[in-house]
A and B are shown apart, each in its own frame.
Chain A
Amino acid sequence: MKKNKKLFFILGGLVIISLLIISVHKVSRLHVNYMTAVDDHPLNCISCHVYTQKDGIVAKLINEDYLSPFNMAVSPDGSKLYVIAQDGDALLVVDTQTNKVTGKIAVGERPHSVAIKSDGNTAFVSNQWADNVYEIDLSLLKVVDTLKTGSGPAELAFSPDKKFLYVVDSYSSEVSIIDLQTKTEIKRLVAGNNPVAAVFSPDGSQAYVTSRRTLPMPFETPPITELTVIDAATQMVKERKMFDNAYLMENVAFTPSGDMAIATLIRPKNLIPSIQVEKGWMMTHGIGIIEQGNEGRVIQLLTDEPNAYYPDPFDIVITPDGQKAFISHSGADVITVIDLNAIRTLLAESTQKKLDYYSNHLGISSRYVLKRIPTGANPKGLVLSPDGKNLYVAERLEDRIAVISTENLETIKTINLNGPSRITVARKGRRLFNNAGHTFQYQYACYTCHPDSHEDGLVYNMAGADMGRNLANTRSLRDIGDTPPYKWNGKNSSIYKQDGMRFSTVLTRTEAFDYDELDALVAYIVTGIKNPPNLRYNPSGHLTEAQKRGKKIYYRTHTNYGEEIPVYNQCATCHPPPYFTNKQMTDVGTLSETDDPMLLDVPHLNNIYESPPYLHDGRAATLEELWTKFNNDDKHGVANDMKKDELNDLVEYLKSLRDAKYYKNDPEYH
């Protein structure tokens, strides 16, 4: 009896434990099924609960501090290569003979470009997230001065007389002209939207500045991206070359004779219902050419082929003999070699009309593409040795420089920059994010529509059930880990689900990510995409007077007429800090006739100033328009009682919103 009792207890315990295990298993299964929208996910808790740790010891253990080489410059004698380590916040000095890193200079946050003075002794490095340029004495390897710029300084160019430094302010969309004698900014010129690159023509008479985002265009009209021409003599903008239906013009180069300037670009198909990838229906990639003759004709040609795409062209360099151009396709891990004489012949024999036709032609590239040279992950900056014999390629997600012979067009060696040897899960995810291998025929990467993991400023016709319906404004991916659900219709409860099977069915249209890949991608998206500091509108946390007034309006509970605003219609109800979203679905009266009836995900508002246009379908070109044009019924917050200056204050406050971390422990926001 006693024995039996014991046995009974043991058995009972076992049953309970196994029941527990079974139920825990069951609960986990349910949870995982819900979060991933599949039912065969291996119940691997690490996937979502370890790799996505943003801080703490675990995060430290599973992550690494990579260098991520980005842009480069070479010393006038060719002996040194200067490499911007974008994630390492450093300028690396590489000896091109020994292939060794010989120096490392700490620079400001998120450096972008480096320019070397012709004497080889001084470098200037733009710190994109610090709004300044460092002057570096290369003999001492020391930062000797800091030059204030506009917001988001990117590429640097010396004026032909070397007296001025032109700094492309990528965030404030300007070019700062800095007097190198007084070290002060003398003026800012308006450039295109999100300009990045600047280069002077060989004769020094003008500078070309390319930009990435489209100019603000009316709703449902094609993007137009500007190349700004600055006259060196007057230091004023002389002309603005418009590239229809193109964007992301990352870099530009002149031929040595100056007969052409060539920029990289992408030709998106955002206005066409996204019903297929085949035949270039989503994205095409290529170059923009400005002829010096022919009244400065603007031409666009693709570097893609009918069944093979080469996404995210980034940098372009042209050999000193003017015969070849090299383009880094950062989404395809390929360098394309272009025969410039073939381009010249094509241009000479073609009318503008023909060239316009060619701008959508996937076969024409056979005429001028000499070769595709494979590279390591995510090739970005390119630079040629002064003699033109070697091409250096910054393999960003490889922490490596490839050296390619420009004569036999083969990779002759690679230079290891001594980054971490381990490839973390998040790093693998970042490679996946940047690479188009998971899209049918390599047509685009995640990065293509989410450049810098942000958004591309376009509205896509995502064609739900029917075509021409449910337009979707691309959303930023910065710091979105804690802002579920995802998609404007909020259908995805997790990033895991967002990037799962359905994603491949309607977007990439090729084989879905496997679970390891999904783990990696999610880890990168959750931990690796940060908001830049809001240096333009809120550098220190001290609000301006207008922002303070705007904050009061944001948190107000009564209208100007003293009427109480219902809680559901107060700004802070749906948009509470730290993310300024309550993560709920709601209707603010912004659905249009072409939208299926649905509730919309309340978007987070951190760094909202960086994401025009606004609303789920991008109808509002500016923040003001949210209320002046699309809130007639006061459904998107009560605003129609406000005076114009109050609206301005509210907008100023919204522009001040920055990364969520600033609001998490601020008692004022709780």
Chain B
Amino acid sequence: MNPMKIIFRIGYIVAIGLASLCLNSCRNQSLEGMVVFTRVPAGNFDIHGKAIAHKYKGAQIVAINPDKPGVPEIILTPDFYSACSPDISYDAKHLLFTAQQKENDSWQVWEMNLENKTSKKITHFEESCYGPAYLPGGRLVFSRQMPETGTGPVHALYTMDLDGSNVSQITFQPHFDYTTTVLHDGRILMLTKQLFPQPGDMMYMAIRPNGTKTELFYKGPGSSILNNQVYETGDGFVYFIEWENGNPNSGDIISINQNRPLFTKVNLTSGITGSFYSVLPRQSGGMLVSYRPSDAGPVGLYSFSVEDKSLGAPIYKQPGYYVIEPVLVEAFTRPKNLPDDTNPEKSTGLLLCQDINVIAQPDDAGLSDNAKATKVEVLGIDKSMGIVPVEDDGSFYLKVIADTPIRFQTLDKDGNILYGPSGWIWIRPFERRGCVGCHQDPELAPNNVVPLSVKKPPVSIPVEDSYETEQSPTIKSLNKNEKE
């Protein structure tokens, strides 16, 4: 080898090293205590909050120091065409976000090292992935757009290790599912909206990171629109933005109590005109909110006092940009790392319903015999999976094919539909799920009795032969509508 070449090469390497050192030292500016948010070009923003996934063209993730107004912002994602949905790791050293490198790329999840600002692509799907969030145990959860199967733009939640391995789909329903936050108890709080057979309302559901035990967490009145960014504070409050009854001009800050989320709603900003888009409670107290005072003008970052229910001065506001999804670069308590009781080698899970006839707030008369359901029908996406008679105590016990969306409807003794179809559910492999009833008060604990149905082996779903032959009236009409 030519000595010159060798010297040149060494020089080159040293130069690069020095350059990168220099660059690094520039980049290694600590973000501790700063606020990171998404800055969306005004024209690309969904001002009515209807889009569940945030995938704004040209959006950038930006950091500012809220205590030092006037100090210019740092753009963290200059190398990306668009970047959204920042999520800070528990030690505040990393950041997850979703981005497209070039204009026509799909959106994928990236992780940024906040010390050196370098990013690493984590998801490698053909379809886009949105809304990442850290999970305990070195994993993350995100929403993936599913290949089209005729049930609409279905998005499902996935989890994987931070190195991209051990990918696992955890939701299986014709819905748009999206992660909002991970609750302190370790469950994922998912924003979800039914797509098939007809569009449903938005609601928050809590779900274990292995996709089991999904339950309703919160739903607003009517067709309220819910924001995809939720925060739980250390004292047990949960904050988010709700467009009550779908009113597009009034996104309000809502607080609910995590102990009793369904019935503790407080609208903190009903007295404030304008619309809110994001809320970020700070550990030190107070809040940062994305707010737009009127129909015109940008969405800026403001401080907000919960006690006074009043807005402070704008912290960051830039014409032509909407500022949303603020997060704090600040270490916080890791949620509980919930154990996984599913078994990927199994193909079924079990479902127990204690009493199909339990109803919310019974009157003293109780249900008449005619109003009592004696059978339950399990419906798949496009076919009935069988009709199962319930036991005398109203219980039924099913072995359900795993990771398959199903719905239920209750039938009386003559086969007439009493209630239903219900919303979609699915059972994970080896999951064992229980419910008190089909349409009971969601705050009702089960009565302590041995359900008659568990005295026998479970009924397998789909019931043999019923898959094709026993087509229920519901499915028939469904198929007919589709054809039309």
A: residues with CB less than 8 A from B are: 220, 222-223, 245, 267-273, 275-276, 278-281, 284, 302, 305-308, 351, 353-354, 357, 360-363, 366, 440-441, 461, 463, 466-468, 501, 504-506, 509-512
Contact B445 A308 (CB under 8 A): no
Contact A461 B450 (CB under 8 A): yes
Contact A272 B444 (CB under 8 A): no
Whether A511 contacts B450 in the complex (CB less than 8 A), given A275-B433, A360-B445, A363-B263, comes out as no
Contact B434 A440 (CB under 8 A): no
A510 surroundings in chain B (CB, below 8 A): 185-186, 336, 338-339
With both chains docked as a complex, state the minimum distance between the C-beta of B144 and any C-beta of chain A, in angstroms.
26
B352 within 8 A of A: yes
Q: In the A-B complex, list the 8 residue pairs whose CB atoms are closest, starting with the nearest.
A: A468-B454, A280-B445, A363-B443, A275-B432, A308-B259, A305-B259, A505-B339, A467-B454
Contact B446 A280 (CB under 8 A): yes
Whether A307 contacts B445 in the complex (CB less than 8 A), given A506-B341, A510-B339, A511-B336, comes out as no
Q: With A and B bound together, what is the CA distance between A273 and B350 in angstroms? A: 11
A268 surroundings in chain B (CB, below 8 A): 448
Q: Which residue of B lies closest to A269 (CB)?
A: B448
Contact B260 A220 (CB under 8 A): no
A512 surroundings in chain B (CB, below 8 A): 339
Q: With A and B bound together, what is the CA distance between A302 and B350 in angstroms? A: 29
Q: With A and B bound together, what is the CA distance between A273 and B452 in angstroms? A: 12
Contact B444 A361 (CB under 8 A): yes
B185 surroundings in chain A (CB, below 8 A): 307, 440-441, 510
Whether A306 contacts B455 in the complex (CB less than 8 A), given A267-B448, A466-B350, A512-B339, comes out as no
Whether A220 contacts B450 in the complex (CB less than 8 A), given A273-B432, A363-B443, A511-B336, comes out as yes
With both chains docked as a complex, state the minimum distance between the C-beta of B249 and any C-beta of chain A, in angstroms.
32
Contact A278 B215 (CB under 8 A): yes
B458 surroundings in chain A (CB, below 8 A): 466-467
A509 surroundings in chain B (CB, below 8 A): 338-339, 341
A267 surroundings in chain B (CB, below 8 A): 445, 448
Q: With A and B bound together, what is the CA distance between A505 and B261 in angstroms? A: 25
Q: With A and B bound together, what is the CA distance between A510 and B184 in angstroms? A: 11
With both chains docked as a complex, state the minimum distance between the C-beta of A467 and any C-beta of chain B, in angstroms.
4
With both chains docked as a complex, state the minimum distance between the C-beta of B379 and any C-beta of chain A, in angstroms.
23
Contact B441 A361 (CB under 8 A): yes
Whether A306 contacts B361 in the complex (CB less than 8 A), given A269-B446, A276-B434, comes out as no
With both chains docked as a complex, state the minimum distance between the C-beta of A363 and any C-beta of chain B, in angstroms.
4
Residue contacts A-B, CB under 8 angstroms, 18 given:
A272-B446, A272-B450, A273-B432, A275-B352, A275-B434, A279-B215, A279-B443, A280-B446, A281-B434, A302-B445, A360-B446, A360-B447, A362-B445, A363-B263, A366-B264, A468-B397, A510-B338, A511-B337
Q: Which residues of B350-409 are within 8 A (CB) of A?
A: 350, 352, 354, 361-362, 364, 366, 397
B189-213 near A? 1/0 per residue, CB < 8 Å? 0000000000000000000000001
Contact A281 B446 (CB under 8 A): yes
B319 within 8 A of A: no
Contact A306 B262 (CB under 8 A): yes
Contact A466 B457 (CB under 8 A): yes
With both chains docked as a complex, state the minimum distance between the C-beta of B350 and any C-beta of chain A, in angstroms.
6
A273 surroundings in chain B (CB, below 8 A): 352, 432, 434, 451, 454
Contact A271 B434 (CB under 8 A): no
Q: Which residues of B77-129 are within 8 A (CB) of A?
A: none
With both chains docked as a complex, state the minimum distance between the C-beta of B440 and any C-beta of chain A, in angstroms.
10
Q: With A and B bound together, what is the CA distance between A247 and B374 in angstroms? A: 33
A281 surroundings in chain B (CB, below 8 A): 434, 445-446
Contact A306 B340 (CB under 8 A): no
Contact B457 A272 (CB under 8 A): no
A461 surroundings in chain B (CB, below 8 A): 450, 454
The bracket for how many chain B residues form the interface is 35 or more
Contact A353 B350 (CB under 8 A): no
With both chains docked as a complex, state the minimum distance between the C-beta of B184 and any C-beta of chain A, in angstroms.
10
B449 surroundings in chain A (CB, below 8 A): 222, 271-272
With both chains docked as a complex, state the minimum distance between the C-beta of B199 and any C-beta of chain A, in angstroms.
28
B76 surroundings in chain A (CB, below 8 A): none
Contact A271 B448 (CB under 8 A): yes
Q: With A and B bound together, what is the CA distance between A501 and B339 in angstroms? A: 8
B258-276 near A? 1/0 per residue, CB < 8 Å? 1111111000000000000
B436 within 8 A of A: yes
Contact A511 B339 (CB under 8 A): yes
Q: With A and B bound together, what is the CA distance between A357 and B436 in angstroms? A: 13
Contact A467 B352 (CB under 8 A): yes
B260 surroundings in chain A (CB, below 8 A): 305-308, 362-363, 366
Contact A276 B432 (CB under 8 A): yes
Looking at the complex, which one of A220, A272, A305 makes contact with B354 (CB distance below 8 Å)?
A272
B339 surroundings in chain A (CB, below 8 A): 501, 504-505, 509-512
Q: Which residues of B2-42 are within 8 A (CB) of A?
A: none
Q: With A and B bound together, what is the CA distance between A272 and B447 in angstroms? A: 8
Looking at the complex, which one of A278, A466, A506 makes contact with B213 (CB distance below 8 Å)?
A278
17 extra interface residue pairs, beta carbon distance < 8 Å, beyond A501-B339, A505-B340, A510-B186: A245-B447, A245-B448, A269-B445, A272-B354, A273-B434, A278-B215, A281-B445, A281-B446, A302-B445, A354-B361, A361-B441, A361-B443, A366-B260, A440-B185, A467-B458, A468-B397, A468-B454
A306 surroundings in chain B (CB, below 8 A): 259-262, 442-443
Q: With A and B bound together, what is the CA distance between A434 and B448 in angstroms? A: 24
Q: With A and B bound together, what is the CA distance between A362 and B262 in angstroms? A: 12
Q: Which residue of B lies closest to A510 (CB)?
A: B336
Q: Which residue of B lies closest to A501 (CB)?
A: B339
A505 surroundings in chain B (CB, below 8 A): 339-341
Identify the interface centre among A223, A278, A357, A501: most chain B CB within 10 Å of its CB.
A278
Q: With A and B bound together, what is the CA distance between A366 and B364 in angstroms? A: 23
Q: Which residues of B322-354 are within 8 A (CB) of A?
A: 336-341, 350, 352, 354
Contact A271 B450 (CB under 8 A): yes
B215 surroundings in chain A (CB, below 8 A): 278-279
Looking at the complex, which one of B352, B354, B362, B457 makes contact with A353 (CB distance below 8 Å)?
B362
With both chains docked as a complex, state the minimum distance between the C-beta of B391 and any C-beta of chain A, in angstroms.
12
Contact A284 B261 (CB under 8 A): no
Whether A362 contacts B444 in the complex (CB less than 8 A), given A276-B213, A307-B185, A511-B186, comes out as yes
Q: With A and B bound together, what is the CA distance between A419 and B432 in angstroms? A: 46
Q: Which residues of B206-256 are within 8 A (CB) of A?
A: 213, 215, 236
With both chains docked as a complex, state the minimum distance between the C-beta of B342 and any C-beta of chain A, in angstroms.
10
Q: With A and B bound together, what is the CA distance between A509 and B431 in angstroms? A: 13
With both chains docked as a complex, state the minimum distance between the C-beta of A100 and any C-beta of chain B, in angstroms.
35
With both chains docked as a complex, state the minimum distance between the C-beta of B262 and any C-beta of chain A, in angstroms.
7
Q: With A and B bound together, what is the CA distance between A366 and B263 in angstroms? A: 9
Contact B448 A307 (CB under 8 A): no
A272 surroundings in chain B (CB, below 8 A): 354, 434, 446, 448-451
With both chains docked as a complex, state the minimum distance between the C-beta of A435 and any C-beta of chain B, in angstroms.
15
